[in-house]
Structure 1
Amino acid sequence: MLTVLGELVVDLIPVPGADPGAEGTAPQFVARPGGNALNVAVAAGRLGHPVHLLARFGTGPLAGNLRRHAELSGVDVSRSVDSDDPVSLAVVGLAPDGSADYGFHVLGAADWQWTDDEVAAAWPPGATALHVGSISSWTAPGSEAIAGLAERLHADGSALVSVDPNIRVSLAEGFGNTGPDVRARLDRLLAVADVVKVSAEDLAWLEPATTDLDEAVQRWADRGPGVVLLTDGGEPLRVARPGRPLLRHTPPTVTVADTVGAGDSLAAGFLTGLLDAGVTTRAALDHVDEDLLRRVVADAALVAALCCTRVGADPPTRADLDAARR
């Protein structure tokens, strides 16, 4: 069973073709469920894998929609927390190639307020993997509780730990955060991670001097994780393991609606692929053969590509994935 811990965000996505008009007023937007944790959990649920979402459901007219979105995708939200704090909001801007930019409205939002007691009470018995990442994993005060859980799971070996930095620069350098604080919080998580998914954009902020992505991803793998996935838009996906040759996988070519949720869908596809194959411990992860790893990576890349063909974070189902394979 996969457990995902983190934020829920309402994404306001521009309606295609609905420009500001002659008066220059704001374009039309449609509200869609989003946020790293919700996206990963929904993608895993749609792939048919048992998944718990540990989230803090805030207040506001869209809070119920976020919960329903998770439930309709087969996600168990029974151990999530109800909060009186507001739901996070992101206004999305889309470039001509479908890549996304975000403006966040998250002051005082529910997602960043985790406590040690809440996390301890929410953790479901029998979970074999934890995925954390993005804003909630590096924003205080809740980041401290999230790191404590990851460290405990690493110490007792009871669950794989997956981390995705998913940097949002406007929040990593504001909103009470500083660059050094965010890097230190992520270093703490990366020290206990078994699986890491990181983007070239993340690396550009985390390590501005990085010029060689091959060297960087291998160096990250040598820091302790069993597998590091480095995404680079439509360029080949790099897969690094300590002491092993670097692998590459070219993602499928698709017509891109937008890239919202693509990285989250890839993380879900990769984690569920490992768990479905019986890889539930660090020892098993370290002994995964190359053929299996390539198959899991190929499926994960296809899950992400299918998400890109749809507006917003709308990952495919297992049936969609099987049809695309054929």
Structure 2
Amino acid sequence: MIVVAGESLIDLVPQRGGEPLPMLLPRLGGGPYNTAVALGRLGAPVTFCSRVSTDGFGEALLAGLRTAGVGTSLVQRGPEPTTLAVAAIEADGSAGYGFYVQGSADRLFELPPPLPDSVRALAFGTCSLVLEPGATAYEALLRREAGRGVFTLLDPNIRAGLIPDPDAYRARFAGWLPYVSLLKLSEDDAEWLGGVPVGPAAVVLTRGGDGLTLRTRAGLELSVPAAPVTVADTIGAGDTVNAALLHSLAARNALSADALPGLDADGWSEVLGFAARAAAVTCSRTGAEPPYASELNG
């Protein structure tokens, strides 16, 4: 089983037209939430670990998880409101966000008991590693489970507007790296962090229309091109990459500290190519709508 830990929220996605302001379409979202849904749609056994509001948005988020086949036994609940993210879509389909996070339910996440022995991998990312007091609980979960030998994926998915002290965050981020098996980050993340970090067994860098690049601790470096697609927007594309990487590595029995370094260039090329194709499907749709396994067959 794969566990995805982090926030869920509602993306408010602008629609074309509308004066003086565009209409905003509410969509289920949040980086970790999207990753969990994408894994479920790919057919992976996955459970979401978070704290979700009991409001109407929270109920819709849970329904979305269940529809995608994602387990919710590790979801905590609370009466506080659901986080909102207002998206701004650029001409090239890239998205920026403004967040409404004060007093929201996911910020009050508490460290759960040790995860079941059946958990093969644990994924983290985005706002959940920034917003306190929940960020400290997620960090403790990362350190504890990595110390027990669980494979970990980290996607920082930097949202600079939520980070009051960039230097303090960068130092904290560096402290996570010894506990990370696979680091996935975008070119924008790498630039904000001051470069592509070293330390994890493997680092996957997403480069938008230029594809994906891999660097491993063993010295392997390779790239695959992006899959051609007409971009509606890029919401959820990076989250889909997370899910596709985990799903594809699991299919190769490579979700362990011992197995990952044994994956050769051909194996990694297949893993990255699958992730590129999955992300392209997401980019072809408005909002975070990752593909189903049937859409990627062949």
Question: What range describes the TM-score normalised by the shorter chain of this pair?
Answer: over 0.9
3-state DSSP of counterpart to 2:12: strand
Structure 2 residue 247 is the aligned partner of structure 1 residue 272: yes
Question: Contact 2:83/2:101 (CA < 8 Å) preserved in 1?
Answer: yes
Matches within 5 A, 1:246-257: 246-257=221-232
Could you tell me which of 142, 145, 148 is aligned with 1:153?
Answer: 145
2:168 — aligned with what?
181
Matches of 1:228 and 1:56, distance apart in 2? 28
The amino acid across from 1:120 in the alignment is P
3-state DSSP of counterpart to 1:282: coil
Matches of 1:320 and 1:248, distance apart in 2? 23
Matches of 2:241 and 2:253, distance apart in 1? 19
Structure 2 residue 60 is the aligned partner of structure 1 residue 65: yes
Deviations 1:54-101 (A, max 9, x none): 111113321111111111011001221011221100111111111101
TM-score under structure 2 length normalisation: 0.96
Could you tell me which of 149, 158, 174 is aligned with 1:167?
Answer: 158
Listed as ranges, the gaps of 5+ residues in structure 1 are 208-215
Listed as ranges, the gaps of 5+ residues in structure 2 are none
3-state DSSP of counterpart to 2:259: helix
Structure 2 residue 18 is the aligned partner of structure 1 residue 19: yes
Question: Contact 2:76/2:109 (CA < 8 Å) preserved in 1?
Answer: no
1:307 — aligned with what?
282
TM-score under structure 1 length normalisation: 0.88
**CA deviation after TM superposition for structure 1 residue 253, in Å:** 1.1
Matches within 5 A, 1:207-218: 207=194, 216-217=195-196
Q: How many residues were matched structurally? A: 298
**CA deviation after TM superposition for structure 1 residue 150, in Å:** 1.5
Could you tell me which of 105, 110, 113 is aligned with 1:115?
Answer: 110
Bigger drift between 260-269 and 132-141 goes to 132-141
Matches within 5 A, 1:27-176: 27-116=22-111, 119-120=112-113, 123-157=115-149, 159-173=150-164
3-state DSSP of counterpart to 1:131: strand
**CA deviation after TM superposition for structure 1 residue 18, in Å:** 2.1
Could you tell me which of 164, 181, 205 is aligned with 1:194?
Answer: 181
Deviations 1:266-287 (A, max 9, x none): 0100011101211131010111
Q: Percent identity?
A: 36
Report runs of 4+ in structure 1 exceeding 4 Å deviation: none
Q: CA RMSD in A?
A: 1.4
